[in-house]
Amino acid sequence: MSMTLKKVLIGAVALVAVGGLVAACGDDEEAPAGGTVVNVTSNDDGKWDFVLDKTTVPAGEVTFELTNKGTLEHELLVYAQQDISPLLTEKVAAVKAGQTLSISSRIQGLVEDAAGEHELEVKPGESGTFTVNLTPGTYELGCIIVETIGAETIDHHGKGMKATLTVK
């Protein structure tokens, strides 16, 4: 076998091996544009929560796909982890008094998408996506809707509609 043919065969074997490794390393975490996809499920039937299919992701583009399995509209905000309970207490008091109060602009480290949006709202039974760029750190995903239904004022976040995400 000539030296040129050996080099070609070695190159072909190496190319197949690299292609196999790349295919094996690819998984459903990767979005088509190279970012990470985090599937989030919201529920308000019994336990109020956000369930994430992964809680640690690499820094960079992250697409959150929120599926609302609840009976109420929910929203997804992403912000640096912190205690927002004082802001929610204010919002609950305002809603109970028949007023509206937006607190999102007062949340430190609130993340916006490329269009400048800071939240994703999803109706019951529907899904939506929200794509942002995240730097390393710890983030909270939360629904900060406060609403009165009948005689009850419901603070979605306070009932447990939140989750923590670590970005490395």
User: From first to last of its 168 residues, what are the pLDDT tens digits of the chain?
Assistant: 554 444 433 444 443 343 443 333 444 433 445 699 999 999 998 889 999 999 999 999 999 999 999 999 999 999 999 999 999 999 999 999 999 999 999 999 999 999 999 999 999 999 999 999 999 999 999 999 999 999 999 999 999 999 999 999
User: Per CATH, which fold does 31-167 belong to?
Assistant: Immunoglobulin-like (2.60.40)
Query: What does the pLDDT read at residue 47?
Result: 86
Q: Scan for tokens 């309970």, then name that residue.
A: 85
Q: Does the CA dihedral 66-67-69-70 come out positive or negative?
A: positive
Q: What is the DSSP letter of 21?
A: H
In 10 A of CB 36, how many CB atoms? 19
Q: What is the DSSP letter of 125?
A: T
Domain ranges within the chain, ordered by starting residue: 1-28, 31-167
Asked if residues 29 and 61 have their Cβ atoms less than 8 Å apart, the reply is no
Taking the C-alpha atoms of residue 158 and residue 92, their distance in angstroms, rounded to an integer, is 10
Tokens of 62: 């992250």
Taking the C-alpha atoms of residue 161 and residue 146, their distance in angstroms, rounded to an integer, is 11
Taking the C-alpha atoms of residue 144 and residue 141, their distance in angstroms, rounded to an integer, is 10
Amino acid code (one letter) for 1: M
pTM metric for this prediction: 0.78
Query: What does the pLDDT read at residue 45?
Result: 83
Taking the C-alpha atoms of residue 126 and residue 51, their distance in angstroms, rounded to an integer, is 16
Taking the C-alpha atoms of residue 5 and residue 34, their distance in angstroms, rounded to an integer, is 37
Query: What does the pLDDT read at residue 33?
Result: 58
Tokens of 123: 């109706």
